[in-house]
Amino acid sequence: MTSVAAAQAPAPDITRQLGAIEARDFSFWYEKKQALKNISIAVPPRAVTALIGPSGCGKSTFLRSINRLNDLIPGIRHEGRMSLDGQNIFEKSMDVVALRQRVGMVFQRWNPFPKSIYENVAYGPRINGIDSQVSLDEIVERSLRRAALWEEVKDRLRTSALGLSGGQQQRVCIARALANQPEVLLLDEPASALDPSSTQKIEELVYELKQELTIIIVTHNLQQAARASDHTAFFFLGELVEFGPTDQIFTRPREERTEAYITGRFG
Amino acid sequence: MKTRLARHWISGSMIGLTYLAAVLATLPLLLILAHLIRKGAASLSLSFFTHMPGPVGETGGGMANAIVGTLILISIACAIGLPIGIGAGIYLSEKRSMPLAQSVRFLSDVLNGLPSIVMGIFAWTLLVRPVGHFSALAGGGALGAMMIPLVTRTTEEMLRVVPTSLREAALALGYPRWRTSLSVVVRTALAGIATGALVAVARIAGETAPLLFTALGNQFWSTSLREPIAALPLQIFAYAISAYDEWHAQAWAGALVLISIVLVISLAARVVTRSKFGAPVD
């Protein structure tokens, strides 16, 4: 596996896992309502996969199953298999806390803690027991650089993250997720509440980051999916209708429903 | 059809009525304060805070024992009411829809509406009768039991307004659930929880009924938790129903001190809440 990783990406740290997400016949229920129906997909590692589809089609549910953030909702149930690097993430021996450190997540509405920029980014590493100032300084700088935010905030690290612009706050959240050195980054409509130039920054960032991690991005913005992703999965009413290279999905969709959606006939 | 002028006039008078209602709502407090200051300020001096009650017929003397007693009772009540109330509030907000949470929430509301004299009798049965004597502990216990539902519900309300997105942010970073609750959710709501606690303290500070059969009151200096203890509301009550003018004057002064304590606590609660929005972050 290591050799494959090395061949695919000239990442600085090749000992890391690949970050391959695979679902097989994965179904998911909220109480009696089935949100996902027999989803089978192998998300390509070290690439950007966009999940598209109308509201309520299950794409967010799928995303939140990967880091088991749905666990807290009462009455949920699942069947089938979801794995990270070959390990079933729902099996009993799975440490959910460790899983969430390997699978970072960024939300639609930026949600920095009401703390300083520095403390936000250092939050994840701190719980992993990293408390030497030197290591934390280094992690914070590296993460903010990777989130393309360092130059903008390096002189005000100790000020509140809530004082930044929306786009900057979202990048603080990305840096906060990156500080854990995840293999997978889940983005739940990360730019839908941002202005065009902030959106562009996030997309450029996604393009940079895919060399080092697997990125799955939920988006309602089809142009964004077309621009920023390598692969696209179209969800409809809880089913995975079509999955393939983004070019193919947008130019020669195989399924009629995919074509109808991307040409704007519904959704 | 109404003319434009008539509509204008009706609108104006309706707004005027709401202004009037707003002023009337604060009128009782202002009247009470004015009355207390007029009646009580004369008897209020430094010795009121430092001296013991004097014998009948003698002017001067103070309520030092009652002021200290009230503070002791409040401390006991806090030691009992705050940990249980805050803990239960955290439970209610974490396990919102569990059947147990729903019944605890309902029972808290019932307990909140319980007449305080009933709480006093209850505390007497539980804390006084088995031991055979009145005590500060029993009084503090009764007040603490009154605090619990208040603190529980305000804590829950304050935790509830912490955005889910913050909780999810911490969980998604790999925070265990208990740590997310304590270090993110509770910490974010801390100012609100403190406010709720102070409001509860202000509320019980002036309670008389739960103390009648528990703390009993004491004319002498006592800080022992196992002995009957003096308390401002009790002292006011005893002096107000007495036949002596000097004691009546002392009761007015005591009432003024009591309401001042409650006002100061309420103001502190306001300051704490405000710092939630303006506080510099770490």
What are the DSSP calls for B65-94, one per residue?
Answer: HHHHHHHHHHHHHHHHHHHHHHHHHHHHHH
Select from A100, A109, A160 the Cβ nearest to the Cβ of B174.
A100
* Residue-range definition of the domain harbouring residue B73: 63-277
- Split at pLDDT 50, 70, 90, the class of B279 is very low
Asked whether the beta carbons of residue A113 and residue B97 sit closer than 8 angstroms, the reply is no
Residue B279 near chain A (CB below 8 Å)? no
How many other β-carbons are positioned within 10 Å of the β-carbon of residue A141?
16
Within 8 A of A112 by CB-CB distance, chain B residues are: 169
SS3 B44: coil
Report yes or no on B200 lying in a domain: yes
What gap in Å lies between CA B186 and CA B189, rounded to an integer?
5
The answer to whether the CB of A185 falls within 8 A of the CB of A139 is: no
How far B173 CA lies from chain A's nearest CA (Å)? 6
* Number of domains into which chain B is organized: 1
Q: What integer pLDDT is reported at residue A131 of this predicted model? A: 85
What gap in Å lies between CA A220 and CA A199, rounded to an integer?
13
Q: What integer pLDDT is reported at residue A1 of this predicted model? A: 40
ipTM of the complex: 0.84
- Split at pLDDT 50, 70, 90, the class of A222 is very high
Q: What integer pLDDT is reported at residue B54 of this predicted model? A: 79
Residue the block writes with tokens 């009790």: B234
Residue B184 near chain A (CB below 8 Å)? yes
Q: What integer pLDDT is reported at residue B269 of this predicted model? A: 81
How far A118 CA lies from chain B's nearest CA (Å)? 9
Report yes or no on B7 lying in a domain: no
Residue B101 near chain A (CB below 8 Å)? no
Report yes or no on B12 lying in a domain: no
Question: For chain A, which residues make up each domain, given as ranges?
Answer: 2-116+183-262
Q: Is the pLDDT of residue A199 over 70?
A: yes
- Split at pLDDT 50, 70, 90, the class of B219 is confident
CATH fold for domain A2-116+183-262: Rossmann fold (3.40.50)
- Split at pLDDT 50, 70, 90, the class of A15 is very low
Report yes or no on B34 lying in a domain: no
Q: What integer pLDDT is reported at residue A33 of this predicted model? A: 93
Q: Look at the pTM and tell me if it is higher than 0.80.
A: no
SS3 B189: coil
Within 8 A of B165 by CB-CB distance, chain A residues are: 107, 109, 111
Q: What integer pLDDT is reported at residue A29 of this predicted model? A: 95
Task: Give the mean pLDDT of A232-241.
Answer: 95
How far A256 CA lies from chain B's nearest CA (Å)? 36
What gap in Å lies between CA A152 and CA A160, rounded to an integer?
14
Q: Is the pLDDT of residue A5 over 80?
A: no
Q: Is the pLDDT of residue A6 over 80?
A: no
Nearest chain B alpha carbon to A113: B166
> Model confidence over B67-119: pLDDT tens digits?
999 999 999 999 999 999 999 999 999 888 889 999 999 999 999 999 999 99
Q: B45 vs A30, which has greater pLDDT?
A: A30
A25: left (phi over 0), alpha (psi -120 to 50) or beta: left
> Model confidence over A52-101: pLDDT tens digits?
999 889 999 999 999 999 988 888 999 999 999 999 999 988 999 999 99
Report yes or no on B24 lying in a domain: no
The answer to whether the CB of A48 falls within 8 A of the CB of A230 is: yes
Closest alpha carbon to A90 in A27, A2, A180, A1: A27
Q: List b or e across B23-46, with b for residues whose CB sees 16 or more CB atoms inside 10 angstroms.
A: eeeeeeeeeeeeebeebbeebbee
* Beta carbons within 8 Å of B13's beta carbon, 6+ residues apart: none
CATH of the domain at B127: 1.10.3720.10
- For a pLDDT cut of 70, what percent of chain B falls above it? 95
How many other β-carbons are positioned within 10 Å of the β-carbon of residue B267?
12
Report yes or no on B150 lying in a domain: yes
Q: What integer pLDDT is reported at residue B183 of this predicted model? A: 85
- The sign of the dihedral angle between the CA atoms of B42, B46, B52, B54 is negative
B126 is written with which tokens?
Answer: 């539980």
Closest alpha carbon to B82 in B238, B180, B167, B201: B201
Report yes or no on B44 lying in a domain: no
